[in-house]
Amino acid sequence: MNPIFLALDFPTWCEAKQFIDQNELEGVPVKVGMELFYREGPKVIEQLKLREHPIFLDLKLHDIPTTVMRAMRNLSALEVDYVNVHALGGSDMIKRAKEGLQTSSQGTKEPKLLAVTILTSFDDQMLQRDLTLEGTVEDQVIHFAKLAYGSGADGVVCSVHESEKIKRVTSQSFETVTPGIRLTDDQSDDQKRIATPSFAKSQKVDKIVIGRSITKAENPKLAYNLALKEWKYGFTN
């Protein structure tokens, strides 16, 4: 699997399929979020699997532990590559999420469990004002990464800027998956903590998620290939 997940931030499968087909992006890793999954349901996952796309199902579950465990049992049956929860749900919720994946994936591929630390739309001021959490974003990201690691998660969703430190305080095998990736000269939109593919790799990130830099590009296939080239070689020219 290559390390770049294309965010399919489309309202329908018809639009997502059209984008993939028109830009010859068959088989690339994709991220399916709430917008698309809540409209299309499991059938969008089935269609993507038929086309051999590795899948990160990004639903960010956050509920009482038993509910999350039961939900993960159902999601595990889809046999995607990654699923996630909010680390803010606590240690017991993360453990039960992992239990749900393990108990329902006997003999099939078990999805890897990621825990979302702090959303990349947050900065220090918002964290303290809206969530009343003390310290910096980085402090809280590291705290939740350690919590997730100790609770059995396979990795975390974080910004590029915390990845290397997370691996130092957990394990080099503990995966970091980072959104907020932009190609050079792109606007940051609503992401506060952004970075380029080459910088992400330098920070020991395992997987990156790119959306608008590719989906809104004049030539999306070229943009995807440039991102992959920058990841591999550190440049795009």
Query: Whole-prediction pTM value?
Result: 0.92
Compute the distance between CA of residue 62 and CA of residue 58 in angstroms, rounded to an integer.
12
Residue matched to tokens 């086309």: 51
What are the extents of the domains in the chain? 4-233
Instruction: Give tens-digit pLDDT for 37-69.
Output: 999 999 999 999 999 999 999 999 999 999 999
Structure-block tokens of residue 72: 């993960």
User: CA 107, 108, 112 angle in degrees (round to 5)?
Assistant: 125
Q: Residue 82 pairs with which residues in a beta bridge?
A: 56, 112
Residues labelled catalytic? 60
Q: Which residue did the predictor score with more confidence, 230 or 145?
A: 145
Return the pLDDT at 190: 47
Give the mean model confidence (pLDDT) for residues 23-30: 97
Instruction: Give tens-digit pLDDT for 202-219.
Output: 999 999 999 999 999 999
Return the pLDDT at 186: 59
**Residue spans of alpha helices (H) in 64-135:** 65-76, 91-104, 124-130
Instruction: Give tens-digit pLDDT for 185-206.
Output: 554 454 444 588 999 999 999 9
Give the closest residue to 72 by CA, choosing from 40, 38, 35, 99.
99
Compute the distance between CA of residue 9 and CA of residue 125 in angstroms, rounded to an integer.
28
Return the pLDDT at 191: 47
CA 70 to chain centre: 21
The DSSP secondary-structure symbol of 234 reads S
Residue matched to tokens 């591929």: 109
- What are the residues whose beta carbons fall under 8 Å from the beta carbon of 78, sequence distance 6 or more? 42, 45, 46, 57, 111
Return the pLDDT at 112: 97
Residue 158, pLDDT > 90, answer yes
Instruction: Give tens-digit pLDDT for 74-117.
Output: 999 999 999 999 999 999 999 999 999 998 766 678 999 999 99
Cβ atoms of residues 83 and 34 within 8 Å: no
Return the pLDDT at 183: 78
Residue 159, pLDDT > 60, answer yes
Structure-block tokens of residue 149: 């690691």
Compute the distance between CA of residue 175 and CA of residue 4 in angstroms, rounded to an integer.
14
Q: Which CATH number fits domain 4-233: 3.40.50.150, 3.20.20.70, 3.40.640.10, 3.40.630.10?
A: 3.20.20.70
Mean pLDDT estimate for the chain: 92
Return the pLDDT at 104: 79
